[in-house]
Amino acid sequence: MKRNILITGGAGFIGSHVVRLFVNKYPDYHIVNLDKLTYAGNLANLKDIEDKPNYTFVKADIVDIDKMREIFREYDINGVIHLAAESHVDRSIKDPFTFARTNVMGTLSLLQAAKEYWETLPEKFEGKLFYHISTDEVYGALELTHPEGVPAPFTTKASSEDDMAYGTEFFLETTKYNPHSPYSASKASSDHFVRAYHDTYGMPTLVTNCSNNYGPYQFPEKLIPLFINNIRQGKPLPVYGKGENVRDWLFVEDHARAIDLIFHKGKVGDTYNIGGFNEWKNIDLIKVIIKTVDRLLGNPEGQSLSLITYVTDRLGHDMRYAIDSRKLQSELGWEPSLQFEEGIEKTVRWYLDHQDWMDNITSGDYERYYVEMYKIR
Protein backbone atom coordinates (compact mmCIF):
# COMPACT_ATOMS: atom_id res chain seq x y z
CA MET A 1 0.00 0.00 0.00
CA LYS A 2 1.23 3.50 -0.84
CA ARG A 3 1.57 5.36 2.43
CA ASN A 4 1.35 9.12 2.81
CA ILE A 5 2.32 9.65 6.44
CA LEU A 6 1.95 12.89 8.35
CA ILE A 7 4.51 13.15 11.16
CA THR A 8 3.79 16.09 13.45
CA GLY A 9 6.57 17.71 15.45
CA GLY A 10 9.08 16.21 13.04
CA ALA A 11 11.64 18.97 13.50
CA GLY A 12 11.86 18.33 17.23
CA PHE A 13 14.04 15.94 19.18
CA ILE A 14 12.18 12.62 18.94
CA GLY A 15 10.28 13.64 15.82
CA SER A 16 13.42 14.28 13.77
CA HIS A 17 14.69 10.78 14.53
CA VAL A 18 11.36 9.28 13.50
CA VAL A 19 11.24 11.33 10.28
CA ARG A 20 14.81 10.34 9.36
CA LEU A 21 14.11 6.67 10.02
CA PHE A 22 10.93 6.59 7.91
CA VAL A 23 12.36 8.65 5.03
CA ASN A 24 15.43 6.44 4.74
CA LYS A 25 13.79 3.08 5.46
CA TYR A 26 10.67 3.50 3.31
CA PRO A 27 11.52 5.18 -0.01
CA ASP A 28 8.04 4.32 -1.33
CA TYR A 29 6.37 6.27 1.49
CA HIS A 30 5.78 9.99 1.25
CA ILE A 31 6.67 11.53 4.60
CA VAL A 32 5.08 14.92 5.34
CA ASN A 33 6.82 16.59 8.27
CA LEU A 34 4.56 19.17 9.93
CA ASP A 35 6.13 21.46 12.51
CA LYS A 36 5.33 24.93 13.84
CA LEU A 37 9.08 25.53 14.42
CA THR A 38 8.75 26.83 17.95
CA TYR A 39 11.91 27.21 20.06
CA ALA A 40 12.34 23.42 20.19
CA GLY A 41 11.87 22.76 16.46
CA ASN A 42 14.96 22.98 14.29
CA LEU A 43 15.21 22.04 10.62
CA ALA A 44 18.98 21.74 11.07
CA ASN A 45 18.12 18.41 12.73
CA LEU A 46 17.13 17.09 9.29
CA LYS A 47 19.73 18.58 6.93
CA ASP A 48 20.79 15.12 5.83
CA ILE A 49 17.38 14.17 4.40
CA GLU A 50 15.85 17.53 3.40
CA ASP A 51 16.40 16.90 -0.33
CA LYS A 52 15.05 13.35 -0.40
CA PRO A 53 12.29 12.93 -3.03
CA ASN A 54 9.91 11.26 -0.56
CA TYR A 55 10.13 14.05 2.03
CA THR A 56 8.08 17.25 2.36
CA PHE A 57 8.20 19.84 5.12
CA VAL A 58 5.16 21.95 5.98
CA LYS A 59 5.27 24.74 8.55
CA ALA A 60 1.93 24.94 10.35
CA ASP A 61 0.25 25.00 13.75
CA ILE A 62 -1.71 21.85 14.59
CA VAL A 63 -4.33 23.98 16.35
CA ASP A 64 -5.29 25.50 12.97
CA ILE A 65 -7.96 22.99 11.97
CA ASP A 66 -8.59 24.55 8.57
CA LYS A 67 -4.90 24.14 7.72
CA MET A 68 -4.99 20.55 9.00
CA ARG A 69 -7.98 19.81 6.75
CA GLU A 70 -6.09 21.29 3.81
CA ILE A 71 -3.00 19.17 4.49
CA PHE A 72 -5.01 15.93 4.70
CA ARG A 73 -6.65 16.69 1.35
CA GLU A 74 -3.55 17.98 -0.44
CA TYR A 75 -1.29 15.07 0.52
CA ASP A 76 -3.96 12.35 0.79
CA ILE A 77 -2.77 11.48 4.28
CA ASN A 78 -3.56 7.90 5.31
CA GLY A 79 -1.37 7.64 8.40
CA VAL A 80 -0.52 10.01 11.24
CA ILE A 81 2.32 9.78 13.76
CA HIS A 82 1.55 12.57 16.20
CA LEU A 83 4.52 13.83 18.23
CA ALA A 84 3.94 17.60 18.18
CA ALA A 85 3.61 18.82 21.76
CA GLU A 86 4.81 21.25 24.36
CA SER A 87 6.84 18.95 26.58
CA HIS A 88 8.88 20.78 29.23
CA VAL A 89 7.38 20.49 32.72
CA ASP A 90 9.00 23.70 33.99
CA ARG A 91 7.50 25.70 31.13
CA SER A 92 4.07 24.14 31.79
CA ILE A 93 4.19 25.33 35.40
CA LYS A 94 4.80 28.89 34.22
CA ASP A 95 2.41 28.82 31.23
CA PRO A 96 -0.22 26.06 31.45
CA PHE A 97 -2.50 27.67 28.85
CA THR A 98 0.01 27.15 26.05
CA PHE A 99 0.23 23.47 26.95
CA ALA A 100 -3.55 23.08 26.97
CA ARG A 101 -3.79 24.85 23.62
CA THR A 102 -1.15 22.81 21.80
CA ASN A 103 -1.42 19.43 23.48
CA VAL A 104 -5.19 19.23 23.91
CA MET A 105 -6.75 21.45 21.23
CA GLY A 106 -3.98 20.65 18.74
CA THR A 107 -4.54 16.92 19.11
CA LEU A 108 -8.30 17.40 18.83
CA SER A 109 -7.81 19.46 15.66
CA LEU A 110 -5.74 16.68 14.08
CA LEU A 111 -8.20 13.98 15.11
CA GLN A 112 -11.13 15.87 13.64
CA ALA A 113 -9.32 16.68 10.39
CA ALA A 114 -8.33 13.02 9.99
CA LYS A 115 -11.84 11.79 10.76
CA GLU A 116 -13.49 14.21 8.34
CA TYR A 117 -11.12 13.43 5.48
CA TRP A 118 -11.06 9.67 5.92
CA GLU A 119 -14.84 9.50 6.09
CA THR A 120 -15.05 11.05 2.59
CA LEU A 121 -13.04 8.21 1.06
CA PRO A 122 -14.67 5.10 -0.41
CA GLU A 123 -12.69 2.84 1.94
CA LYS A 124 -13.20 5.26 4.88
CA PHE A 125 -11.05 4.09 7.83
CA GLU A 126 -9.68 0.95 6.18
CA GLY A 127 -5.87 1.07 6.00
CA LYS A 128 -5.71 4.27 8.06
CA LEU A 129 -4.03 4.87 11.41
CA PHE A 130 -3.77 7.75 13.89
CA TYR A 131 -0.80 6.98 16.16
CA HIS A 132 -0.46 9.26 19.18
CA ILE A 133 2.82 9.43 21.13
CA SER A 134 2.38 10.20 24.82
CA THR A 135 4.45 10.08 28.01
CA ASP A 136 4.84 8.01 31.15
CA GLU A 137 4.12 11.14 33.20
CA VAL A 138 0.36 10.72 32.71
CA TYR A 139 0.49 7.83 35.18
CA GLY A 140 1.62 10.02 38.08
CA ALA A 141 4.38 8.82 40.37
CA LEU A 142 5.67 5.61 41.93
CA GLU A 143 7.02 5.20 45.43
CA LEU A 144 10.74 4.91 46.00
CA THR A 145 10.69 1.66 47.97
CA HIS A 146 14.43 0.96 47.50
CA PRO A 147 15.80 4.48 48.07
CA GLU A 148 19.43 3.41 47.99
CA GLY A 149 19.04 1.41 44.79
CA VAL A 150 20.74 -1.89 44.04
CA PRO A 151 23.33 -3.00 41.49
CA ALA A 152 22.46 -3.46 37.81
CA PRO A 153 20.41 -4.69 35.93
CA PHE A 154 18.04 -1.92 37.13
CA THR A 155 15.22 -3.64 35.29
CA THR A 156 11.85 -5.35 35.45
CA LYS A 157 13.70 -8.31 33.93
CA ALA A 158 15.60 -8.81 37.19
CA SER A 159 15.54 -12.32 38.64
CA SER A 160 13.72 -11.25 41.80
CA GLU A 161 12.01 -8.25 43.37
CA ASP A 162 15.06 -7.70 45.55
CA ASP A 163 17.14 -7.14 42.39
CA MET A 164 14.93 -4.29 41.14
CA ALA A 165 16.65 -0.96 41.48
CA TYR A 166 14.29 1.48 43.17
CA GLY A 167 10.98 -0.29 43.65
CA THR A 168 8.83 -3.24 42.68
CA GLU A 169 6.00 -1.23 41.08
CA PHE A 170 6.04 -0.24 37.40
CA PHE A 171 3.69 1.59 35.07
CA LEU A 172 1.56 -0.83 33.07
CA GLU A 173 -0.71 -0.06 30.13
CA THR A 174 -3.60 -0.53 32.57
CA THR A 175 -2.23 1.82 35.24
CA LYS A 176 -4.78 4.47 36.22
CA TYR A 177 -3.98 7.99 35.04
CA ASN A 178 -2.93 10.39 37.78
CA PRO A 179 -1.11 13.40 36.23
CA HIS A 180 0.50 15.89 38.59
CA SER A 181 1.79 18.73 36.37
CA PRO A 182 0.08 20.94 33.78
CA TYR A 183 2.22 19.18 31.15
CA SER A 184 1.17 15.67 32.13
CA ALA A 185 -2.45 16.78 32.59
CA SER A 186 -2.49 18.15 29.04
CA LYS A 187 -1.00 14.94 27.67
CA ALA A 188 -3.48 12.83 29.64
CA SER A 189 -6.34 14.84 28.16
CA SER A 190 -5.00 14.36 24.63
CA ASP A 191 -4.70 10.60 25.24
CA HIS A 192 -8.34 10.49 26.30
CA PHE A 193 -9.44 12.31 23.15
CA VAL A 194 -7.55 9.84 20.95
CA ARG A 195 -9.21 6.88 22.65
CA ALA A 196 -12.60 8.62 22.54
CA TYR A 197 -12.34 8.97 18.75
CA HIS A 198 -11.63 5.25 18.52
CA ASP A 199 -14.51 4.28 20.80
CA THR A 200 -17.05 6.80 19.45
CA TYR A 201 -16.31 6.94 15.73
CA GLY A 202 -14.45 3.69 15.16
CA MET A 203 -11.34 5.59 14.11
CA PRO A 204 -8.20 3.42 14.01
CA THR A 205 -5.89 4.75 16.72
CA LEU A 206 -2.88 3.71 18.77
CA VAL A 207 -1.35 5.29 21.87
CA THR A 208 2.13 4.76 23.29
CA ASN A 209 3.51 6.05 26.58
CA CYS A 210 7.28 6.36 26.70
CA SER A 211 9.88 7.01 29.38
CA ASN A 212 12.55 9.74 29.29
CA ASN A 213 14.47 9.89 26.02
CA TYR A 214 18.08 10.98 25.51
CA GLY A 215 20.40 11.27 22.52
CA PRO A 216 21.42 13.65 19.70
CA TYR A 217 19.41 16.74 18.73
CA GLN A 218 17.67 17.22 22.11
CA PHE A 219 16.93 20.83 23.02
CA PRO A 220 19.31 21.90 25.80
CA GLU A 221 16.70 22.73 28.41
CA LYS A 222 16.53 18.99 29.09
CA LEU A 223 18.86 17.49 31.69
CA ILE A 224 21.42 15.55 29.65
CA PRO A 225 22.25 18.07 26.86
CA LEU A 226 22.01 20.93 29.37
CA PHE A 227 24.59 19.34 31.64
CA ILE A 228 26.92 18.33 28.81
CA ASN A 229 26.92 21.92 27.53
CA ASN A 230 27.33 23.44 30.99
CA ILE A 231 30.28 21.19 31.82
CA ARG A 232 31.90 22.18 28.54
CA GLN A 233 31.45 25.86 29.45
CA GLY A 234 32.17 25.54 33.19
CA LYS A 235 28.66 26.66 34.16
CA PRO A 236 26.64 25.48 37.19
CA LEU A 237 24.77 22.17 36.98
CA PRO A 238 21.33 22.86 38.56
CA VAL A 239 20.04 19.83 40.47
CA TYR A 240 16.48 19.93 41.80
CA GLY A 241 16.14 19.17 45.52
CA LYS A 242 18.65 16.50 46.52
CA GLY A 243 18.73 14.82 43.10
CA GLU A 244 16.93 11.74 44.42
CA ASN A 245 14.15 11.60 41.82
CA VAL A 246 14.33 8.47 39.65
CA ARG A 247 13.67 8.22 35.92
CA ASP A 248 13.74 5.43 33.34
CA TRP A 249 15.96 6.39 30.36
CA LEU A 250 15.71 5.26 26.74
CA PHE A 251 18.01 6.09 23.81
CA VAL A 252 15.99 8.06 21.26
CA GLU A 253 16.86 5.84 18.29
CA ASP A 254 15.44 2.86 20.18
CA HIS A 255 12.23 4.84 20.69
CA ALA A 256 12.10 5.59 16.95
CA ARG A 257 12.50 1.87 16.21
CA ALA A 258 9.64 1.10 18.58
CA ILE A 259 7.41 3.68 16.88
CA ASP A 260 8.19 2.14 13.49
CA LEU A 261 7.35 -1.34 14.75
CA ILE A 262 4.14 -0.30 16.50
CA PHE A 263 2.95 1.78 13.53
CA HIS A 264 3.22 -1.23 11.25
CA LYS A 265 2.36 -4.13 13.56
CA GLY A 266 0.61 -2.74 16.64
CA LYS A 267 -2.96 -3.74 17.43
CA VAL A 268 -5.38 -0.96 16.47
CA GLY A 269 -7.11 0.56 19.49
CA ASP A 270 -4.40 -0.66 21.85
CA THR A 271 -1.81 1.00 24.10
CA TYR A 272 1.88 0.11 24.42
CA ASN A 273 4.37 1.28 27.03
CA ILE A 274 7.92 1.94 25.81
CA GLY A 275 10.73 2.06 28.35
CA GLY A 276 14.42 1.46 28.70
CA PHE A 277 14.41 -0.97 31.66
CA ASN A 278 16.96 1.53 32.88
CA GLU A 279 16.28 3.48 36.08
CA TRP A 280 18.67 6.08 37.39
CA LYS A 281 18.52 8.46 40.31
CA ASN A 282 19.13 11.96 38.94
CA ILE A 283 22.24 12.62 41.00
CA ASP A 284 23.79 9.29 39.97
CA LEU A 285 23.02 9.99 36.31
CA ILE A 286 24.60 13.43 36.63
CA LYS A 287 27.78 11.92 38.05
CA VAL A 288 27.98 9.53 35.08
CA ILE A 289 27.60 12.48 32.70
CA ILE A 290 30.29 14.44 34.55
CA LYS A 291 32.70 11.51 34.48
CA THR A 292 32.11 10.90 30.76
CA VAL A 293 32.37 14.55 29.68
CA ASP A 294 35.46 15.20 31.78
CA ARG A 295 37.17 12.13 30.32
CA LEU A 296 36.33 13.04 26.72
CA LEU A 297 37.44 16.66 27.27
CA GLY A 298 40.68 15.53 28.85
CA ASN A 299 39.81 17.06 32.23
CA PRO A 300 41.05 15.54 35.48
CA GLU A 301 38.56 12.96 36.72
CA GLY A 302 35.90 14.56 38.90
CA GLN A 303 36.91 18.12 38.02
CA SER A 304 33.34 19.16 37.16
CA LEU A 305 31.75 17.72 40.29
CA SER A 306 32.20 21.16 41.84
CA LEU A 307 29.72 22.56 39.30
CA ILE A 308 26.80 20.70 40.92
CA THR A 309 24.44 23.33 42.34
CA TYR A 310 21.37 22.25 44.30
CA VAL A 311 18.35 24.45 43.53
CA THR A 312 14.81 24.68 44.88
CA ASP A 313 12.86 21.60 43.92
CA ARG A 314 10.31 21.75 41.10
CA LEU A 315 6.68 22.17 42.19
CA GLY A 316 4.89 18.81 42.28
CA HIS A 317 8.07 16.94 41.36
CA ASP A 318 7.20 13.24 40.93
CA MET A 319 9.61 10.96 42.77
CA ARG A 320 9.86 7.95 40.44
CA TYR A 321 8.80 6.85 36.97
CA ALA A 322 9.37 3.29 35.78
CA ILE A 323 7.90 1.73 32.64
CA ASP A 324 7.10 -1.94 32.21
CA SER A 325 7.66 -2.67 28.49
CA ARG A 326 7.08 -6.40 28.65
CA LYS A 327 3.86 -6.24 26.62
CA LEU A 328 5.77 -4.61 23.74
CA GLN A 329 8.51 -7.19 24.09
CA SER A 330 6.23 -10.22 24.17
CA GLU A 331 3.77 -9.13 21.46
CA LEU A 332 6.06 -7.36 18.97
CA GLY A 333 9.57 -8.47 19.94
CA TRP A 334 11.01 -5.02 20.67
CA GLU A 335 13.68 -4.29 23.25
CA PRO A 336 16.33 -1.57 23.66
CA SER A 337 19.46 -2.08 21.56
CA LEU A 338 21.93 -0.09 23.68
CA GLN A 339 23.15 -0.48 27.21
CA PHE A 340 22.91 2.84 29.03
CA GLU A 341 26.66 3.40 29.38
CA GLU A 342 27.05 2.87 25.63
CA GLY A 343 24.19 5.24 24.90
CA ILE A 344 25.58 7.96 27.18
CA GLU A 345 29.03 7.65 25.60
CA LYS A 346 27.49 7.98 22.13
CA THR A 347 25.36 10.94 23.23
CA VAL A 348 28.16 12.87 24.91
CA ARG A 349 30.44 12.36 21.91
CA TRP A 350 27.72 13.66 19.58
CA TYR A 351 27.21 16.89 21.51
CA LEU A 352 30.95 17.50 21.87
CA ASP A 353 31.41 16.86 18.14
CA HIS A 354 28.51 19.18 17.23
CA GLN A 355 29.30 22.23 19.31
CA ASP A 356 28.22 24.52 16.47
CA TRP A 357 24.73 23.00 16.60
CA MET A 358 24.57 23.58 20.33
CA ASP A 359 25.98 27.11 20.16
CA ASN A 360 23.48 28.11 17.46
CA ILE A 361 20.60 26.97 19.66
CA THR A 362 21.78 28.48 22.93
CA SER A 363 21.13 32.03 21.82
CA GLY A 364 20.70 35.09 24.00
CA ASP A 365 17.00 34.31 24.43
CA TYR A 366 17.80 30.81 25.65
CA GLU A 367 20.49 32.12 28.00
CA ARG A 368 18.01 34.52 29.60
CA TYR A 369 15.46 31.73 29.97
CA TYR A 370 18.04 29.44 31.59
CA VAL A 371 19.06 32.05 34.16
CA GLU A 372 15.46 32.88 35.03
CA MET A 373 14.34 29.24 35.26
CA TYR A 374 17.06 28.05 37.63
CA LYS A 375 17.80 31.36 39.38
CA ILE A 376 21.54 30.90 38.93
CA ARG A 377 24.21 32.62 36.83
Give the single-character DSSP code of 312: P
- Concerning whether 183 is annotated as a catalytic residue, the answer is yes
> What is the structure's pLDDT at 3?
95
Per-position pLDDT tens, the chain of length 377: 689 999 999 999 999 999 999 999 999 999 999 999 988 888 989 999 999 999 999 999 999 999 999 999 999 999 999 999 998 888 899 999 999 999 999 999 999 999 999 999 999 999 999 999 999 999 999 988 777 765 544 555 544 455 567 877 899 999 999 999 999 999 999 999 999 999 999 999 999 999 999 999 998 888 999 999 999 999 999 999 999 999 999 999 999 999 999 999 999 999 999 999 899 999 999 999 999 999 999 999 999 999 999 999 888 888 999 999 999 999 999 999 988 889 999 999 999 999 988 888 776 454 455 456 545 44
Q: Which amino acid is at 251?
A: F
Long-range contact list for 126-130, CB < 8 A, 24+ apart?
Answer: 127/1, 127/78, 128/78, 128/79, 128/203, 128/204, 129/78, 129/79, 129/80, 129/204, 129/205, 129/206, 129/263, 129/268, 130/80, 130/82, 130/194, 130/197, 130/203, 130/204, 130/205, 130/206
- Active-site residue (options: 61, 137, 221, 279): 137
Which is the catalytic residue, given 35, 136, 248, 253? Answer: 136
Backbone phi, then psi, for 168, in 5-degree steps? -100, -5
Helix H segments across 36-181? 65-75, 89-94, 96-99, 106-120
State the DSSP string of 271-306.
EEEE--S-EEEHHHHHHHHHHHHHHHHTPPTTGGGG
Catalytic residue status for 136: yes
The pLDDT score that the predictor gives to residue 363 is 62
pLDDT score of 10: 97
Instruction: Give the Å distances, CA to CA, from 186 to 85, 177, 193, 345, 347.
Output: 10, 12, 11, 33, 29
The dihedral through the CA atoms of 271, 272, 275, 277 has a sign that is: positive
Encode pLDDT of 84-107 as tens digits: 999 888 889 999 999 999 999 999
Residue 54: exposure state from Cβ atoms within 10 A (0-12, 13-18, ≥19):
middle
3-state secondary structure at position 317: coil
Number of Cβ within a 10 Å radius of residue 264:
12
From the candidates 139, 183, 272, 374, give the one annotated as an active-site residue: 183
